[in-house]
Amino acid sequence: MDNDAVKGKIDNVINLVKANNPEADTEMIYKAYNLAKEAHKDQKRLSGEDYVIHPVSVAYILAEMQMDTETIVAAILHDVIEDTIYSYDYIKEEFNETIANLVEGVTKIGRIGFQSKEESQAENLRKMILAMSKDIRVILIKLVDRLHNMRTLEYMRETKQIEKAKETLDIYAPLANRLGISTIKWELEDLALKYLDPDGYYDLVHKIKVKKSAREAYIADVIAVLAKEIEKVGTHAEIYGRSKHFYSIYRKMKSQNRSFDEIYDLIAVRVIVDSLKDCYGVLGIVHSQWTPIPGRFKDYIAMPKPNLYQSIHTTVMGPKGEPFEIQIRTREMHETAEYGIAAHWKYKEGRMDAKDNKYEVQMSWLRQMLELQRDSEDAGELVETIKVDLLNEEVYVFSPKGAVVPLPAGSCPLDFAYRIHSDIGNNCVGARVNNKIVPLNSPLKSGDIVEIMTSKNSNGPSRDWLGFVKSPHARNKIKQYFKKEEKDENVQKGRSILEREIKREGLQQSNLLNLNNLELLAEKCSYKTLNDFYAAIGYNGIKIGTVFQKMKLLFPKEFPEEVEEIVLKKPSKEPKKNGSTVIVAGYHEIDVHFSKCCNPVPGDTIVGYITKGRGISVHRADCANVLNLVDPNRIVEVEWNKYSTGSFTAEIHIKAREAQGTIIQISKTFLEMGIPVTALNAKNEKNEYDFFSATFEVKSRRELNLLIKNLNKIKEIIQIYRV
């Protein structure tokens, strides 16, 4: 795609943002676009388009949702940290910390290591939940990123199409629904169906198209009758018809085992009015014109869905005896129904009112998800429980005092009990539903009045309850109970393991097992109490190797190796041209070596560390090992000797689209630049990506950056990062 076409797309984003909010900072959007264009200039999508088309398209969809400027800018930059040389710090300096955090949040969700499929999905879900809890706009960008990728999925191979479509239907569409963003949910579902069952999808498209004109004429007659009656009472209303989405029809056909010809309510009429009072006034008009079908009336205004959705739904027998659905809502309800949590960012330019009750409802759900992911140590269990929470339909039951309690469909009285309070669940001995005593595993239905009977003499929950509770919240609380019950056993086991390993290492037990030192160690390992720490060791919640790493940082003197005494010679005024590569605190000709954990090269900002027996170890200043050091007295200032020459080891990891010949192109780039390669390894993760690691010798950071720039010209390469 030529530059004019790309420029036209960003202009469309700017124009839409201005239309939504004339006071928006469009200069910052242009600045983000110019950075993204530069960062992605040598990258192409599978479609052959310039890569920058993707982030600009994501930004345009978010602009259609009337999102704030910071979200638009972060969307344009959302692949910059992951796929290019630009860093979090650079974006923070050039824009602001909020935008940098949004970009990093989106990047972290997609950055999965070499794990099993189940572990990767679980880790991705954990990252999504954590990102949402910090700033929910991260997940809005990620949802729209997935939406645009699904729109262009045709360019991927079939196996990858199916994998992405299934993940979209399992996670992303339900997540959009849970956040109330129906516009994204519907399109994701339809696009996923297109690749998961193409025959069923296109057959449905054809059948709907055949009768489209007849249905539109029918609905036009209905709208004309309704508009006339509403006008008579002086109510202002916007009325229009909308077709049911393909996946909605497809799912109904499958779940009810019905053919297409047996699905009648393919079109719904939507009425948008000015006030709550008008909603019920219009409902009366509708029921006076057409006969309501029993059991097909739902008042989501009185009982909103957990995703904030509010509307009245009623299905009536229309002209010619054909049923159709009518939805009635206010303008504010409509915006929330279309854009969910995103509607609350409209025009606010990144500022969310903490007192917004609807926003707080979503935050309450996120807090439950955070608790779930913290307490779940099994990857498969986490994936399944979150899927249950996202995918399940809800039932709405009442407490004896009339409070509405939403629960997953199929929930039993125990789910209700734990939703009220964990103590009520743990001490539950019976339940009444609609004033009748029922078994604790009895399924609840909407409208049931549920009363829980408790006893102080209860023996606590039964493990059998895990077999029939439906909500992840109840399941989590029951498991927590048994984990606590088993804690004493795990505390003793963990204490024995720690004592045994300290003895096996030949360390001084009297010092390391001192109570004060143990409590300090537990705190360093993020446990509130020593018993929590012991218990975690006992049930393998923390590895003993991790414990010893923390122990070495806290109590280095307890470990046998001593810090080498280094005698520094008096410095000369100028470093010698043939002297040491690195000058230590103004000195040279000192025993130094370069750390293999970060492989610094001339041009990097560096620090020195006094090692145990090997002189000064030189690290990059941003090296994680240096940042985690607890003894600042062993850090010394170092700088590069400007006269030094020679080669330095560097290592990079490369992520590329699966294609034959990529490794040859990588090798050719090294050869053409005259850079010696000591190791080049390839790994395929049974998906569309290949992963390469390369170890080589360079003279400077400048040469390394030039190498990365040249490698990025290989169209299959998606991401390069330095180790």
Residues 324 and 622: their CA atoms lie apart, in Å, by 63
The answer to whether 82 is a known catalytic residue is: yes
Residue 169 and residue 197: Cα distance in Å, rounded? 12
Contact status, residue 595 vs residue 601, Cβ threshold 8 Å: no
How long, in residues, is the chain? 723
> How far is residue 239's CA from residue 374's CA, in Å, rounded to a whole number?
46
C-alpha 52/C-alpha 713 separation (Å) is 15
Amino acid residing at 595: S
The torsion angles phi and psi of 537, rounded to 5 degrees, stand at: -65, -40
Q: Which of 315, 318, 338 is nearest to 223 (CA)?
A: 318
Looking at 486-617, list the stretches that DSSP marks H as alpha helix, in order from N- to C-terminal side: 487-504, 509-512, 515-524, 530-538, 544-554
The DSSP letter of residue 171 is: I
Q: Which residues contact 103 (CB under 8 A, 6 or more apart)?
A: 74, 77, 78, 80, 81, 88, 91
Q: Which of 83, 104, 189, 688 is catalytic?
A: 83
Identify whether 68 is a catalytic site residue: no
* Amino acid at the residue 154: E
Rounded Cα distance between 494 and 286, Å, is: 68
Q: Is the dihedral of CA 434, 440, 445, 451 positive or negative?
A: positive
Axis crossing angle, helix 379-391 with helix 357-375, rounded to the nearest 10: 150
The bridge status of strand 689-698 relative to strand 677-684 is antiparallel
The single-letter code of the amino acid at 110 is: G
Q: What angle do CA 48, 681, 688 make, to 5 degrees?
A: 35
Residue 509 makes CB contacts below 8 A (sequence gap 6+) with: 499, 502, 503
Compute the chain's Rg from CA coordinates: 31
Rounded Cα distance between 462 and 157, Å, is: 49
Q: DSSP class of residue 720?
A: E
- Token code pair at residue 488: 């004493």
Residue type, 262: E
Q: What residue type is 249 in one-letter code?
A: I
**Tokens, residue 723:** 């180790």
Q: Are 618 and 641 in contact (CB under 8 A)?
A: no
Which of 82, 163, 558, 589 is catalytic? The answer is 82
What is the Cα–Cα distance from 507 to 605, expressed in whole angstroms?
37
What's the number of CA atoms in the CB half-sphere (13 Å) around residue 72?
Answer: 33
Q: 3-state DSSP: the chain helix, strand, coil percent, rounded to 5?
A: 50, 15, 30
Is residue 164 within 8 A of residue 689, CB to CB? The reply is no
Residue 603 tokens read as 């041009």
Under 8 Å between Cβ of 652 and 701: no
DSSP letter, residue 326: E
Token reading at 422: 């964990």
CA distances to 119, 364, 598, 619, 655 from 114, in Å: 9, 33, 20, 26, 12
Residue from 426, 526, 542 nearest 484 by CA: 426
Give the CA count within 13 Å in the CB-facing half-sphere of 80: 29
Hey, which residues are catalytic here?
Answer: 82-83
